[in-house]
Amino acid sequence: MGGGERARTGRAVVPVSLREIETERVARLPIGIGELDRVLGGGLVPGSLVLLGGSPGIGKSTLTTMALGRLAAAGIRTLYVSAEESAAQVRLRAERLTGGDPLSIPVVAETGLAEVVATLEVQRPDVCVIDSVQTISAEELGGAPGTVGQVREVAAAVRRVAKARSIAVVLVGHVTKEGSLAGPRVLEHIVDCVLQFEGERERTYRTLRALKNRFGSTDELGVFEMAASGLVEVPDASARFVEGATLSPGSVVLAAVEGTRPLLVEVQALVSPSELVPPRRVVNGLDRNRLALVLAVLARHARVPVGGADVFVNVVGGVRVDEPGADLAVALAVASAARGVPLSGERPGRPAVCFGEIGLTGELRPVGHAERRTAEAARFGLGRPIAPAAGAGEPGPKTLAEALSAAFAERARSAPARAA
């Protein structure tokens, strides 16, 4: 308190209502790949830093090369800094790609940070890709490339030149299978936008989403398919997954929402007697812990015991759905697989569709965007989803047990001749 008397008297600042504040309009460079532009929020912002994370082999180099190829064809100045592959390897990839003009992309194969920064100063491209942030190193720092200190230094130095010269930079970063963006996670606060590229390497589908976006929403989802000539956009992924759904025991369609985009995906389960203790729990595209929870609730509250069986659950196509709304799909798929009875939807010959979270006491809980999910199911001719009642007095199952009887009763109704 005593020091207060000697404190400097400040100048009063006049507040301005938010309405009168000018917002700066961000200029954008649309890339021309719709699924990518949408996730970015309309294109790349000059002077901004985008981190593109994903596991090795997922297609980061392919996507960034395609992006630069499109931009180059539109007369935008590009630069590809390859710190992982030789220029010849980059060329071989570019030769496979269709769309844009990938062979006109200027490339440097360089791993020294000082060299990269100096090159950016001289070349002054509009858009630059650095592949990858973990293989560039700042010599003066010492230590192996890819360490936390190194990637931070690389990102900070690149950011300085990007801002000063108005270069949009895409930093490619490797994420391990376990999802620890070993290097890149520590960069999240340095970059303007973090994109995550996901999927199973040996499957064809890839999803792209923004985990952080200073210039757009984090609600968009881009879907691609890896083909022999690069990544192909899949603007209507729901249609593909629904048409591919099997209608066999163990299969159900999940009306998922990724961000705010509805997406119908097929969830499949296989339950088979096990000789292992503990039995196998294999899950692809969903959270392992949610599977454990759903199996426990199935056993305890719905009399579907699978304790002695191997359980495999898979989201078809290699898509990841990390949302609580997937619980009911897992439960229905597993129950259908365990009973060997297919679920069938409201519409004969069409797959059953569902969504909903499952609570520990066996209750069904509503999840976000119920109308969007329902509308997407209707759009693809699946009828009404099996989903938690929207509120007290509303129609729909309130518990997992009720959802199961609804799912199997539906079948009995649509195939009465076969009922015993």
Give the residues lining the site for ligand TYD (CB under 6 A): 54, 56-62, 93, 96-97, 226, 228-230
Residue 134 or 399: the one with the smaller Cβ distance to ligand TYD is: 134
Q: Which does 89 bind (CB under 5 to 8 A by kind): ligand TYD, Mg ion, none?
A: none
Look at phi and psi of residue 255 and say left if phi exceeds 0, alpha if psi is from -120 to 50, else beta.
beta
Q: Which does 57 bind (CB under 5 to 8 A by kind): Mg ion, ligand TYD, none?
A: ligand TYD
Q: Which does 226 bind (CB under 5 to 8 A by kind): ligand TYD, Mg ion, none?
A: ligand TYD
| Residue 221 CA, distance from chain mean position | 7
Burial class (CB in 10 A: 0-12, 13-18, 19+), 1: exposed
- Which one among 32, 33, 37, 61 touches Mg ion, defined by CB under 5 A? 61
The C-alpha atoms of residue 146 and residue 42 are separated, in whole angstroms, by: 31
The C-alpha atoms of residue 102 and residue 99 are separated, in whole angstroms, by: 8
Least Cα distance to 333 among 350, 308, 314 occurs for 314
**Residue type (1 letter), 81:** V
Instruction: In angstroms, give the least distance from the CB of 94 to Mg ion.
Output: 13
- Is residue 271 within 8 Å of 299, Cβ to Cβ? no
**78 binds Mg ion, rule: CB under 5 A:** no
Q: Which stretch binds Mg ion (CB under 5 A): 61-69, 178-186, 258-266, 277-285?
A: 61-69
Instruction: In angstroms, give the least distance from the CB of 61 to ligand TYD.
Output: 3
Residue 134 or 344: the one with the smaller Cβ distance to ligand TYD is: 134
The DSSP secondary-structure symbol of 200 reads -
Q: Which does 246 bind (CB under 5 to 8 A by kind): ligand TYD, Mg ion, none?
A: none
Q: Which does 228 bind (CB under 5 to 8 A by kind): ligand TYD, Mg ion, none?
A: ligand TYD
Rg (CA), the chain: 26
Residue 54 or 396: the one with the smaller Cβ distance to ligand TYD is: 54
The C-alpha atoms of residue 185 and residue 196 are separated, in whole angstroms, by: 11
Instruction: In angstroms, give the least distance from the CB of 318 to ligand TYD.
Output: 13
User: Please, which of residues 321-380 interact with Mg ion by CB under 5 A?
Assistant: none
- Summary count for the chain: helices (H), strands (E): 10, 16
Residue 100 or 342: the one with the smaller Cβ distance to ligand TYD is: 100
Residue 164 or 227: the one with the smaller Cβ distance to Mg ion is: 227
Q: Which residues contact 126 (CB under 8 A, 6 or more apart)?
A: 29, 46, 71, 76, 77, 78, 166, 167, 168
**82 binds Mg ion, rule: CB under 5 A:** no
Q: Which does 119 bind (CB under 5 to 8 A by kind): ligand TYD, Mg ion, none?
A: none
Residue 55 or 61: the one with the smaller Cβ distance to Mg ion is: 61
Contacts with Mg ion, residue ranges (CB under 5 A): 61
